[in-house]
Amino acid sequence: MDAFLAKTDPEMAGLIAAETKRRQEGLEMIPSENHTSPAVLEALASILNDKYAEGYPSKRYYGGNTVIDKVEKLAIDRAKKLFGVPHANVQPYSGSPANFAVYLAVCENGDVVMGQNLSDGGHLTHGAKVNASARFFRSVPYHVRQDGYLDMDEVRQLAKEHKPKLIWCGATAYSREIPFEEFGKIADETGAYLVADIAHIAGLVIGGAHKSPAPFVHIITTTTHKTLRGPRGAMIMVTEKGLQKDAELGQKIDKAVFPAGVQGGPHEHQVAAIGVALKEASAPAFKEYAGQIVKNAKALAKELMARGIKIVSDGTDNHLMVLDLTPHGKGLGIFLEEALDMAGITVNKNTVPQESSSPFYPSGVRLGTPAITTRGMKEEEMAQIGEYIAKVFNEIKGCKLPDEKEERIAYLKDSRKKLEENATIKEVRESVRLLCGRYPIP
């Protein structure tokens, strides 16, 4: 296929080649990213891309879907078996529309919903004030404690006070195990639907490296491209507990996805690639992989803390961690993100609990181990990477984010120029390149 693209559009082919080179020579450490297998990419780039298939297996609005029905049923069956659920929808384009479909299935406009506060590690679609979920529903956020762990006493108190229709558990920047059982008890006490958004930890759940939410929640949503190591897509699953609460919950979810909800025809090439990823995740080697992700994250967090870098909650139970840079000043996340990028280490700036700056210039950095674990790196390499990150961090500690907008723009421009010329960052870049040469991407 590469030969066809190079002949048809050499400019685009060149850009894809440049991105491939960037990834091969750098460490992808954004915890919501991974390296998919050639088999997943092959399914994603298949002829299935060309087919319209509105509806569901055996209930399509278009003809010619005999094979497509088998493709989607296979992906559904694999999802149900792996996650231990009676109902699965594999059509959502991504995590955000999947989550919005859940709202449409169980909530009415104006209902109270609860989710983890955004700057405390929650997700936009769980009721963040800048998101549509807070526009159409009344959002009551819960928070983490001073030590970085979820404040479950607050969750229970807010749920009893506000009687939410729906409670979200699961996060995008929370490094500790989600207490699904405790959330389940709170939902049962207050009559709420409980939804576990396991987008970040789905692969850990399948691999036995994180407790499964299936016995405790009514609905599970997940993306498929993070620790699950599949294509960019999503799934919605209904548990036995969910069907006990509402026997028609599965049908309501399906209808909320299509036709009454948030999207049109499914991307069946994406569905097929999800099916391939689920088959890969069912292999014994995937359990070892999931366990190694967590081992690597723990080893990296330990190394960073030993080198004087503060981490929210002082460690991790999963695949990620959030570096809290506030002891050295507010808004330093953007400086560390950009400096690490120059060093060949890709992370993302992130808010920290009780954030004193803005989401555009936050005081933290989020990073994780799924992609570097896919390349075969283990604890020894985590010690090296921790050293690299600490070296780069020491080069930006003296940065001070100005309060005034115009001063800030000029300061950032000047800082970038200095960082590009920084000898230590160049040295780390070469070390990263050498390390990556020993661990090729799939």
pLDDT tens across 324-350, in order?
A: 999 999 899 999 999 999 999 999 999
> Of 281, 315, 348, which residue is a domain's last?
281
Which CATH number covers residue 362?
A: 3.90.1150.10
Q: In terms of domains, do 347 and 415 share one? A: yes
pTM listed for this prediction = 0.96
Give the β-pairing of 345-346 and 27-28.
parallel
Which CATH number covers residue 196?
A: 3.40.640.10
Q: What is the CA radius of gyration of the chain?
A: 22
Among 255, 260, 217, smallest CA distance to 238 is for 217
Residue 1, pLDDT > 70, answer no
Q: In terms of domains, do 274 and 312 share one? A: no
Q: Which of 165, 229, 232, 241 is catalytic?
A: 232
AA letter at 134: A
Asked if the structure places residue 431 within a domain, the reply is yes
Q: In terms of domains, do 333 and 420 share one? A: yes
Task: For residues 40-67, give the mean pLDDT.
Answer: 97
Q: Which of 60, 78, 165, 226 is catalytic?
A: 226
Nearby residues of 157 by Cβ (< 8 Å), 6 or more positions away: none
Residue 13, pLDDT > 90, answer yes
Ramachandran area for residue 33 (φ above 0: left; ψ -120 to 50: alpha; else beta): beta
Phi, psi of 113, rounded to the nearest 5 degrees = -130, 155
> What's the pLDDT score for residue 261?
85
| pLDDT bucket at 365, cuts 50 / 70 / 90 | very high
Q: Which of 28, 197, 254, 355 is catalytic?
A: 197
Q: Is 120 a catalytic residue?
A: no
Structural domain harbouring 68: 43-281
Asked if 321 and 308 touch (Cβ cutoff 8 Å), the reply is no
Q: Is 197 a catalytic residue?
A: yes
pLDDT, tens only, 141-192: 999 999 999 999 999 999 999 999 999 999 999 999 999 999 999 999 999 9
> What's the pLDDT score for residue 356?
86
Asked if the structure places residue 211 within a domain, the reply is yes
User: How many Å apart are CA 112 and CA 138, to the nearest integer?
Assistant: 5
> Of 281, 303, 318, which residue is a domain's last?
281
Nearby residues of 236 by Cβ (< 8 Å), 6 or more positions away: 88, 89, 92, 98, 101, 102, 219, 220, 221, 253, 257
Q: In terms of domains, do 199 and 299 share one? A: no
User: How many Å apart are CA 86 and CA 240, to the nearest integer?
Assistant: 6
Q: In terms of domains, do 206 and 301 share one? A: no
Which pair of tokens denotes residue 198?
Answer: 């396991």
pLDDT, tens only, 370-402: 999 999 999 999 999 999 999 999 999 989 988
> Of 281, 302, 321, which residue is a domain's last?
281
Q: Which of 25, 42, 54, 246 is catalytic?
A: 54
Q: Which of 52, 93, 149, 361 is catalytic?
A: 52
Q: Is 223 a catalytic residue?
A: yes
Task: For residues 348-356, give the mean pLDDT.
Answer: 94
CB atoms within 10 A of CB 152: 15
**Composition of the chain by helix, strand, coil, percent to 5:** 50, 15, 35
Q: In terms of domains, do 84 and 112 share one? A: yes
Structural domains in the chain (count): 2
Q: Which of 172, 221, 223, 239 is catalytic?
A: 223
Which pair of tokens denotes residue 17?
Answer: 């080649």
Residue 2, pLDDT > 80, answer no
- The whole-angstrom distance between residue 47's C-alpha and the CA centroid of its chain comes to 28
> What's the pLDDT score for residue 33?
98
Residue 359, pLDDT > 90, answer no
Q: Is 54 a catalytic residue?
A: yes
User: How many Å apart are CA 49 and CA 269, to the nearest integer?
Assistant: 5
> What's the pLDDT score for residue 50?
97
Q: Is 125 a catalytic residue?
A: no
Q: In terms of domains, do 147 and 229 share one? A: yes
Nearby residues of 287 by Cβ (< 8 Å), 6 or more positions away: 207, 208
> What's the pLDDT score for residue 405?
82
pLDDT, tens only, 280-304: 999 999 999 999 999 999 999 999 9
Asked if the structure places residue 242 within a domain, the reply is yes
| pLDDT bucket at 305, cuts 50 / 70 / 90 | very high
Mean pLDDT computed over every residue of the chain: 97
Asked if the structure places residue 410 within a domain, the reply is yes
Q: Is 9 a catalytic residue?
A: no
Task: For residues 231-256, give the mean pLDDT.
Answer: 98
> What's the pLDDT score for residue 52?
97
- Write the DSSP symbol of residue 114: E
Q: In terms of domains, do 252 and 312 share one? A: no
